[in-house]
Structure 1
Amino acid sequence: MAKGSADDYAEETSILTKISKDYIEDHVYISYVPPPLIRGKGVLARSEYEEWVGRINEIQEDLVWLLELPYHKFWSQFAFDGRVTALLNSYIQNTPRPYELEEFNECLESEIALSTKEAQDRVHALVLCVYIRLASFNEVKESKRLLTASEFGSLIYDKFIFDIPTICDICLIYGSENHLEVSHIVNTVFGQQPMYLNDLNEAVICATKSLKEIMQKSRDLDVSDSALLKGVVCMTPLLDIVNYLIDVVFSVSALLEFYSSACNMLVKYRYVSLLGDIYYNTVPLLYSHAGEISLLVQSGRVDSGKHSKVSRKLRILREEMLKTLNLIVAYFVSESLKFKSENNEDGVKRCIGNFLDVWYDCLPFDTFVRDYNKLYGAQKDFIVLKEVNSSEIESDKISFIMESILSHEILEKKSRHFPQPKNEVEILGAVGDVTEENIENNRVTRISDLELQCRISSVSDILPDVDVDVIRNYLSTMDYSTEKVIDAILKDSIAGIPLDEKKPMESEESYVNQRINVFDGDEFDVMTNDHIDMTRVNLGKKKEKYKDFKELIDDKSHRVEMADMYNRLGVVSEIDTVNGGVDTYDDEYDDTYDDTDVTSRKTFVTPRVLREVVLDSSEDSESEDSEGTSECGLKSNLNFVANPAEIREKMEQKRQAMRGAKAPVVEKDVIGKPKGTGQDQATVINRQRKNANKAGRANHQRKNRSLKKQQQGMF
């Protein structure tokens, strides 16, 4: 028996060479639907329960059957039968999220509801087991493995077994209770298939666009008085907007917990800036819409349960947005510490740059920054980065952001947003639900900014002397009624607010005291000086002191002005009074040989050039020609510069001599006889010589000269 089993196993493993359609088994799969108590109001009919339990039992059997399949049949089923993937997607998309579990558990009061939860939990665990097996392609030994790492990556990507929305949903649904298993799934998928990174980049772009669109829809939501009176407004659009925001924010936050490298993509597309904008503008607007719609709750035209859902989900949304910011900030801090331990300065600089970009995007939204600082404490992250950072410029930026965050805590700004919590525990519950107790006052306290500004402007147009802040206080006291405020101010009586707070008219004196100019307080300031020296004031065109440049140069009056200064400093030498008041000092006199008698050592001899020429006729008689020659020779030695005319004459003679030495030019015949009669040998030789030497004359080197000019840049 054992031998037969071994042979059957060997035969089976020998044919497992690849995944094939032959291994698919025809099986019917049923899609998952939420429990009836989630779809309704918590009232569960017996027929609905039996129908849903029958469906959930069949799904449970299908999942158990899948998990019991052999390795090759399991993967063949997912590779070639898309209905299996559709079954898993139906559960992932429709099962309650963690932020809906509170509502789900509130409905579990009867025995039927408790049984529903048990069936839900069984399917919940089986779906996770299927995804774990899908992420474990190496569950068999290496010799029997059908899929390599590259084949596994191609299979799960091409067959859409895993995609970015599915990964986000797995992280969101199973991450809180099954951290290790979900981390294994995410790391395997992104590690074996890099193409998912491109899909993640596109998913981030899609998420940012979706958030921008939902922000615009929240602004366009009509909750005006006319719409409320007509009964047009209902809670469904508002609840849809809140659900959409929660779904996007929670999905991104859940993914960051298991794949923190996605923070780089979020910083690239300024996802944090969108979160701050939603937290600062959209969430207060949604609270305001909920307050306006609460009037319909009292009249019974809107379900009070839906109204309470909006307030509760808005608090959950605020908490998750702050958590997302904390995950992003913590990632860059931990990465900078990691790069610092590896002595990777470029990595440290890049992480600090991204960290600062995140906070630069958050700083405009003071409510967002203030709530984050109260809940998580931003200062500790900046202290860590200051220790890691080695750049002075980055240190200055870190200090600037720290001071900006602290300033949000110190400065109490008047804001239209929801009230701020008093302590760390109260931060996520600062904005309470609109209950029946404050419905009467809700309309007054929920007035919009635009309407408030319009009412302030209408009062200011009639009473421009009253300060804007005083008008705002009057309006809040008088139920935002402009008629009552104007009447009370005109009668100089208003309850609880002194009228001396009115803003006085600015007098001329106060205007002068507030002037700020570089010339304030000088000698020509007519606003502060009663008497001004008019002699220093030039009226009309200013007359020039000198007519031209020559007159300016000839003016030596500055010497007289500087004489006293030189006399005091003793710079000018005293005049020699020994020689009759004449200073005999000469800077060019050379006194080197004043102490030596030069004439005693050597007699003075007149240079020959300066001597007069004297001919001694008493010497031996010589011929007149010789005398003439010596005389001319003596005179020629005295000619330091030659006569230019003689030089020109000599050069001309030299040129004539050179011309005469050349051989006569012989005309060579290159024309020859007429064509067709033949040419003699001399003509042929002359033509060849002319053709070979024609480049040396005339203009036969145009091409070579042109190329030379082009090479020298002369074109």
Structure 2
Amino acid sequence: MPVPLDKMQVVSTSNKPQPSLHSSRIEKMVFVKYFPPPANTDDRAEYDAWLERVNYLCDDLHWLLQLPHDKFWCQVVFDAGLHKSLDSFIQFSPRSHETLMNLPAVGKQRQLELCRLVFMTYLRMSTHKESKDHFITPEVFGDILYVNFLFDIPKILDICSLFGKNNSVLLNKMIGNIFTQQPKYTNDLLETVPTILEVLSNIAAKCGIHLEGVGLSPKKLKQSLNAPVLSTMPTLELQDIMLYLSDTAITLHRFLDVYPPACSVFQQFHFCSVIANFYESVIPEITVALKQHEYPSVSLKKSLTSNLHHTKKSILAIFHSIVQHVCLQPVLENASNEEVVSAATEEFLHTMTSVLGERRFLAAYEGIFNFQDDVVIFLQASSTLDSSQFEYIQSAINSAFATFGRRKSPRGDTNTGGRTSPDGAPDSSIGGATAGKSGGVDSNKWIGAKIPISGNDRYLTDDFQTEDYGEGAISHPRPSDVEIESLITSIKDLFPHLGEGFLEIALEELDWNQEKTVSCILEEKLPPSLHSISTDLPRQQKEVKQEENDQTDNTDLVDSRRNVFDNDEFDMFRNTNVDMTKIHLGKKEKKVDLNDKSAVNAVRATYDVYGSIDKDNIYDYISGGHGLNQQLMYDDEYDDTYDSNVVGADDADSADELNNKKIVPRVIMDLERKKIKDERRGAEESDDDDEGENNDEEQRVKDQFLADPAKMRELAEQRRQSQAGGGRRYVAGSVPVNRDVKGGQKGQGQSKEVVHNRQVKKKYKGQRYQSNADKKMSKGMF
């Protein structure tokens, strides 16, 4: 039968039996402490030292995890150096929500490997039964953890902050086993919650704000005199407050998300009221201070803004986790038990009523989590509940959301967060998203609705997105004024009895969708938030600010001008320090001497080279012979080849020539026509005489009795070559060109010559047929 480790006996070196879990069985190992990664990786010495330390830790933890069950627990329980090494890692290791480290790829890989080994070490330390043969008695296991300080509440919070985002399932089993096997940790958590409340109070005091809540100390008289101002606070101090606040909020959120039973402990101290009061009092002040503060760099401003965004999301998630576990989860698990449902409903109403004064908190909470979904659960579990209290809370949430809230994604007719008037101000005429025509809550509408899935996954799909630092954003952009006017006019043509103000509000509620708005009006299925609005509501005209008109009318023309000489050294409109010595006003007083020929004498030598009346130019002589200058002689052999061409005959006529029409008498025109006919008749007779001479010469050639055999053979060879060359003219003594178009085998590529021959063949293969076809067409054959 297997024996647990706490009852197992082994033989010592002195051959005496001793407990298996004994300090004499540990290995002498030196575990180094962990240091945070260097901020500047350019310092190679510091980076190499950190990387070497991380490698040592990875090797030591590899060795530790490979030890047998008994050796591992001896080393874990009795080795103080191991405790200090693990504590240094969870204290200085960067959290998952912090900015990514600017480390090389090797450094990041080793850091992630060390995180994995530390998590596996803590996971093995929290497991009392590894197999059937290796286990520890649960009661003894709880005492070992508690007595040897292997785990405590601060260490558990740090572990959740480090590993809670990506390892929530394993971490849930790990922490659940610790609290199950050792109930004293629950008592420690009860004693830790007042310390957490004090931490929140100290953070608010650092911001110059006093929190009023359960379990918080009263405000001191001298405290208001020395209250710091966030806007004038030094940058380092403001950064320290933001890092402390974000780390506290994210750690609590991760812990409650990983171990939900802890929510009951926090609720005993009315933590929901305190955290809502903290959000209402501190977060707006910090938001304004971050916007007004002057930062040494833009990256620091983005980092602090991101920390503020994480803090907001975490505080809202903490509130929802407590409400979910304390109020909603018992109803989902025991819906048939009226006592449990009644107690949970009372707790829910008490919690929500206590935070109705925190309007900014309610608006932010409604922007992420839907109060109506929670009400659905209670109304489905019990039909005897009074809906008037839910109506009161819903009305307060709608009013707060209309003033301070913004929803991330509007839901059309299921929009439950209230609304605002078209100009952005709160509209008192709108009762809320769930208010009917009478202003009440229609409980029948909630019956049969889908119960939301328990847990936070459906609400926080991305815990720490940093693209949008606001609490929410409108998903559909608002059209321009002209587009809105067009939409209202088109719907007004279909429903003339409806007011333009009502149509504008309906379009805004339905994401400016014209078809959807017309369909809802026809089917009388408008969103509940529009039921309390009068259908003949006129449209509010936007007032034009007088300041803008004055600013437009008083625009300086000098500032609005654009010139190529702007901002030069002589621009007196933008440059006050203009060198006036370089500017001359009026005529120059210096008299010009007309007898001064210095400028003419400067260029006289140049003109002399190219010649003048008195001197010969350089073109009158050429260099010839043996370097002697010889004057060009006149050449009387004049070339008159092109003298018969009429210069400019084909040029386009100018406009003057076209407009200048000369009238020639008819008699003169007849004489010119007769002259042209006589010239043509003479030319034809001369051509006939030439043809007669040619015929006589050919006749003489034909009269030869025998032709020259050599010429006959040459003519025959020409005919054969012409036929072989496809009709091309044969040149005596030339070798026919063999154009290769076949080339090599397919798939092996073709030479440049083959490709060229193929292109030539493709281009000219139909030229003869086309020429014959053109000839036939010109003669009218087809």
How high is the TM-score relative to the length of structure 1? Answer: 0.51
Quote the Cα distance in structure 2 between the aligned partners of 1:135 and 1:82.
Answer: 18
1:660 counterpart residue number: none
CA contact (8 A) 2:10 2:19 kept: no
Q: Deviations over 1:354-412 (max 9, x none)?
A: 3223312332111211122122212111111122246545x443332223223323xx4
Tell me, yes or no, if structure 1 residue 28 matches structure 2 residue 30.
Answer: yes
Alignment partner for residue 351 of structure 1, among 339, 344, 347?
Answer: 344
Quote the Cα distance in structure 1 between the aligned partners of 2:96 and 2:206.
Answer: 26
Tell me, yes or no, if structure 1 residue 204 matches structure 2 residue 206.
Answer: no
Alpha-carbon deviation of 1:148? 0.8
Alpha-carbon deviation of 1:431? 7.3
What is the correspondence of 1:282-361 to structure 2 with a 5 Å cutoff? 282-294=282-294, 297=295, 302-341=296-335, 343-361=336-354
CA contact (8 A) 2:367 2:406 kept: no
What is the correspondence of 1:183-202 to structure 2 with a 5 Å cutoff? 183-202=172-191
CA contact (8 A) 1:235 1:307 kept: no
2:278 counterpart residue number: 278
Corresponding residue pairs, total: 396
Quote the Cα distance in structure 1 between the aligned partners of 2:245 and 2:361.
Answer: 16
Alpha-carbon deviation of 1:494? 7.7
User: Which letter maps to 1:243?
Assistant: L
Alignment partner for residue 402 of structure 1, among 372, 394, 413?
Answer: 394
Quote the Cα distance in structure 1 between the aligned partners of 2:162 and 2:56.
Answer: 22
Alpha-carbon deviation of 1:133? 0.8
User: Which letter maps to 1:274?
Assistant: V
User: Which letter maps to 2:331?
Assistant: L
Cα pair distance change 1:242/1:223, threshold 3 Å:
closer
Cα pair distance change 1:201/1:223, threshold 3 Å:
closer
Alpha-carbon deviation of 1:497? 11
Quote the Cα distance in structure 2 between the aligned partners of 1:171 and 1:277.
Answer: 25
How high is the TM-score relative to the length of structure 2? Answer: 0.47
Provide the secondary structure at the position in 2 that maps to 1:177.
coil
Alpha-carbon deviation of 1:334? 4.1
2:156 counterpart residue number: 167
Cα pair distance change 1:289/1:318, threshold 3 Å:
same
Quote the Cα distance in structure 1 between the aligned partners of 2:168 and 2:292.
Answer: 42
How much is the aligned-residue C-alpha RMSD, in angstroms? 3.1
Alpha-carbon deviation of 1:129? 0.9
What is the correspondence of 1:130-279 to structure 2 with a 5 Å cutoff? 130-142=121-133, 145=135, 147-219=136-208, 220-223=227-230, 233-279=233-279
CA contact (8 A) 2:139 2:182 kept: yes
Cα pair distance change 1:61/1:360, threshold 3 Å:
same
CA contact (8 A) 1:16 1:72 kept: no
Provide the secondary structure at the position in 2 that maps to 1:185.
helix
Provide the secondary structure at the position in 1 that maps to 2:130.
coil
Alignment partner for residue 75 of structure 2, among 60, 74, 77?
Answer: 77
Cα pair distance change 1:384/1:16, threshold 3 Å:
farther
Alignment partner for residue 107 of structure 2, among 110, 116, 121?
Answer: 116
Alpha-carbon deviation of 1:223? 4.8
Cα pair distance change 1:46/1:280, threshold 3 Å:
same
Cα pair distance change 1:43/1:56, threshold 3 Å:
closer
Cα pair distance change 1:60/1:427, threshold 3 Å:
closer
Alpha-carbon deviation of 1:83? 2.0
CA contact (8 A) 1:363 1:405 kept: yes
1:94 counterpart residue number: 92
User: Which letter maps to 1:291?
Assistant: K
Cα pair distance change 1:354/1:124, threshold 3 Å:
same
User: Which letter maps to 2:28?
Assistant: D
CA contact (8 A) 1:420 1:427 kept: no
Q: Deviations over 1:128-170 (max 9, x none)?
A: 110111112211435x64x310110001011111111221222
Cα pair distance change 1:399/1:427, threshold 3 Å:
farther
1:104 counterpart residue number: 100
* Structure 1 segments of 4+ aligned residues over 6 angstroms from their partners: 9-12, 424-427
CA contact (8 A) 2:91 2:158 kept: yes
User: Which letter maps to 1:354?
Assistant: E
Quote the Cα distance in structure 1 between the aligned partners of 2:119 and 2:334.
Answer: 38
Alpha-carbon deviation of 1:65? 1.7
Provide the secondary structure at the position in 2 that maps to 1:34.
coil
Tell me, yes or no, if structure 1 residue 383 matches structure 2 residue 372.
Answer: no
User: Which letter maps to 1:134?
Assistant: M
CA contact (8 A) 1:319 1:428 kept: no
1:574 counterpart residue number: none
User: Which letter maps to 1:92?
Assistant: I
Provide the secondary structure at the position in 1 that maps to 2:100.
helix
User: Which letter maps to 2:313?
Assistant: E
Higher helix share: 1
Gaps of 5+ in 2: 1-8, 209-226, 411-464, 473-544, 551-782
CA contact (8 A) 1:97 1:173 kept: yes
Provide the secondary structure at the position in 1 that maps to 2:67.
coil
Cα pair distance change 1:336/1:497, threshold 3 Å:
farther
Quote the Cα distance in structure 2 between the aligned partners of 1:426 and 1:43.
Answer: 25
User: Which letter maps to 2:158?
Assistant: D
User: Which letter maps to 2:390?
Assistant: I
CA contact (8 A) 1:214 1:241 kept: yes
Quote the Cα distance in structure 1 between the aligned partners of 2:326 and 2:69.
Answer: 41
2:59 counterpart residue number: 61
Alpha-carbon deviation of 1:67? 0.9
Alpha-carbon deviation of 1:125? 0.6
Cα pair distance change 1:356/1:98, threshold 3 Å:
farther
CA contact (8 A) 1:186 1:259 kept: yes
User: Which letter maps to 2:188?
Assistant: D
User: Which letter maps to 1:65?
Assistant: W
Alpha-carbon deviation of 1:171? 1.9
Quote the Cα distance in structure 1 between the aligned partners of 2:151 and 2:190.
Answer: 16
CA contact (8 A) 2:33 2:88 kept: yes
Alpha-carbon deviation of 1:237? 1.1
Quote the Cα distance in structure 2 between the aligned partners of 1:397 and 1:251.
Answer: 34
Quote the Cα distance in structure 2 between the aligned partners of 1:244 and 1:361.
Answer: 27
Quote the Cα distance in structure 2 between the aligned partners of 1:352 and 1:18.
Answer: 53
1:651 counterpart residue number: none
Q: Percent same amino acid among aligned pairs?
A: 27
Quote the Cα distance in structure 2 between the aligned partners of 1:346 and 1:277.
Answer: 31
Cα pair distance change 1:10/1:212, threshold 3 Å:
closer
Cα pair distance change 1:426/1:407, threshold 3 Å:
farther
User: Which letter maps to 1:382?
Assistant: V
Quote the Cα distance in structure 2 between the aligned partners of 1:210 and 1:176.
Answer: 24
What is the correspondence of 1:248-647 to structure 2 with a 5 Å cutoff? 248-294=248-294, 297=295, 302-341=296-335, 343-389=336-382, 392=385, 395-409=387-401, 412-413=402-403, 420=406, 423=409, 429-430=469-470, 495=547
CA contact (8 A) 1:336 1:388 kept: no
Deviates more, 1:215-224 or 1:71-80: 215-224
Find the structure with the greater CA-based Rg. Answer: 1
CA contact (8 A) 2:230 2:238 kept: no
